[in-house]
Chains A and B, each alone.
Chain A
Amino acid sequence: MKSARLKTAFRRTLRSFGAMTPILLGVLLLTALALESLPVAWMTAWMGYSPIVDAVLGAGLGSVSTGNPAASYLLAGELLAAGVSLTAATALIVSWVTVGLVQLPAEALMLGWRFALLRALFCFVSAVVAALIVVSLLAVAG
């Protein structure tokens, strides 16, 4: 009885995993392509005019970026050293791990387009707001 239950569960898991495989492969291929062709220099050239614009550009850059989150810390750290504001760096870090435009098709196929699009939109806006809040709180705290 237990063995039959496990067999059924295994078959069901294999089926679900099989359905997920082309999506995983597609996202990985897309991620690799994005990693090799990010418009980092173009976007950073527009930063430094206002905190909100910086946050939006930082969130934009983070949204189209992908890879290990540690890379976002490195990139944000390098951008800070190059004179980019903390607001932009924070928005980049937050959106890097929350938005993930490259993963959007996979999320939509698995969890529904409405869910994925709403979440991506919320995450983008929240990256901008979070960056402004964090920098403001740090400024208040001195």
Chain B
Amino acid sequence: MSQPRRNGRSAGGWWFLLLVLLAYAVVGVGEPDVAHRALATFGKLFVGLVPALLLVFAFMLVLNWAFEGKENLPELGSRAGVREWVLAIAAGVLSVGPLYPWYGLLAQLRARGIHSGLIAAFLYARAIKLPLLPLMVHYFGLAYTVVLSLVLLTFSLVSGWIVGRLTPQD
């Protein structure tokens, strides 16, 4: 399996974008209406993403500034303890916006030695959306919301443990 280059620098991203554009070209020939609607949706999604991108850029800048000259963060590395797991899960629950802008930050953290399990736990804990809990209660009830949230918290730990054990640290 290929591993990402440090800081996520890779030509793979451009190949991926090229493949997606090719998919659009194929869809555009067969179903021009779908391609047009998809492009309009893309525009809306992109505009909605800008605040989250700015937030992630700021986080990445702070991280790079704070740890300039330090290659690793040993205290958050393979010896991750209870405090680190709680922090990763809490950060996942509190993180906002779509998932993909966070990948850059997570790739940087991983390149600096953060344990893969902590990243997996962070990503899974994002399933709990605090701002949307009232909406969930409205649709499915309070008991359902509480039970599902507790199950998701538990699974975020399990996810971190399993993925962390099966993914070799760079």
A positions within 8 Å CB-CB of B: 5-6, 8-10, 12-13, 15-17, 19-33, 35-37, 69-70, 73-74, 76-77, 86, 89-90, 93-94, 97-98, 100, 103, 105-107, 109-115, 117-119, 122-123, 126, 129-130, 133-134, 137-138, 141
Contacts and interface: CB of A to CB of B under 8 A. Distances in A.
A76 B139 contact: yes
B158 interface: yes
Given A9-B65, A35-B38, A111-B103, A126 B129 contact: no
B35 to A, nearest CB: 8
Contacts of B101: 24
Nearest to A96: B127
A111 to B, nearest CB: 6
Contacts of A89: 140
Contact of A110 (B1, B37, B106, B158): B106
B104 A28 contact: no
B159 A123 contact: yes
Interface residues of B, number: 72
Interface of B: 1-4, 7-10, 12-14, 16-17, 19-21, 23-24, 27, 34-35, 37-39, 41-42, 45-46, 49, 53, 57, 60-61, 64-65, 68, 99-101, 103-104, 106-108, 110, 116, 119-120, 123-124, 126-127, 129, 132, 135-136, 139-140, 143-144, 147-148, 151-152, 155, 158-159, 162-163, 166-168
B167 A19 contact: no
Contacts of A37: 34, 38
Given A15-B7, A32-B39, A126 B159 contact: yes
A19 B21 contact: no
A36 B3 CA distance: 32
B107 A10 contact: no
Given A22-B17, A112-B167, A28 B49 contact: yes
Nearest to A20: B104
Contacts of B132: 69-70, 73
